[in-house]
Amino acid sequence: MNPTEGKKKKIRLLFVCLGNICRSPAAEGIMSGIVEKNGLQDIIDVDSAGTSGWHQGDLPDERMRSHGEKRGYDFCSHARKFRESDFDDFDYIIVMDENNYSSVKSLASGKDQADKIHLMTEFSVQFNYHNHIPDPYYGGSSGFELVLDLLEDACEGLLQVIKKEHSIY
């Protein structure tokens, strides 16, 4: 008997921003915390990537890590560039803005792959923030706090969508 037989495939989420040092690793860390809090680690897997490879191998931006720590998060993933194979490896590819959407969609080989791509703000419950999660990189503290607020909201909304779509209760 195959050891993976009867074992349900994990639902895999990939968060994507430009450099993979602010928004997407924060979304990864927040969603990982929500998944763990709900006891769904055996069902949902979370990762992040960037559309550029500028920061490949780097930890998330120090300011994002600091703001995240104040909220109890540990943003410790290492930046990597989005690759075409991610379409095969992930069920949901969640991008932070329209530029990320265009970059990722340009790599999709067909409708099935393109249908996996979603804007993070599609999952927002409390906030309606102009269809994008703003990049806090060139701003101050308030920008990082806003991004964390928006991501916490959208990650909670995303979990509800996943639970509904995959009959997880």
What's the first-to-final CA gap in the chain, in angstroms? 29
Which H helix or E strand runs over 63?
helix 62-70
Residue 17 annotated to the active site: yes
Residue 22 annotated to the active site: no
Q: Which of 22, 23, 47, 153 is catalytic?
A: 23
The rounded distance, in Å, linking the Cα atoms of 136 and 139 is 5
Q: Which of 45, 47, 97, 135 is catalytic?
A: 135
Q: Which of 17, 47, 65, 153 is catalytic?
A: 17
The rounded distance, in Å, linking the Cα atoms of 120 and 158 is 8
Residue 23 annotated to the active site: yes
What interhelical angle do 62-70 and 23-37 show, nearest 10? Answer: 30
User: What burial class does residue 169 get, using C-beta atoms within 10 Å of its C-beta: 0-12 exposed, 13-18 middle, 19+ buried?
Assistant: exposed
- 117 beta partners: 93
What are the catalytic residues?
Answer: 17, 23, 135
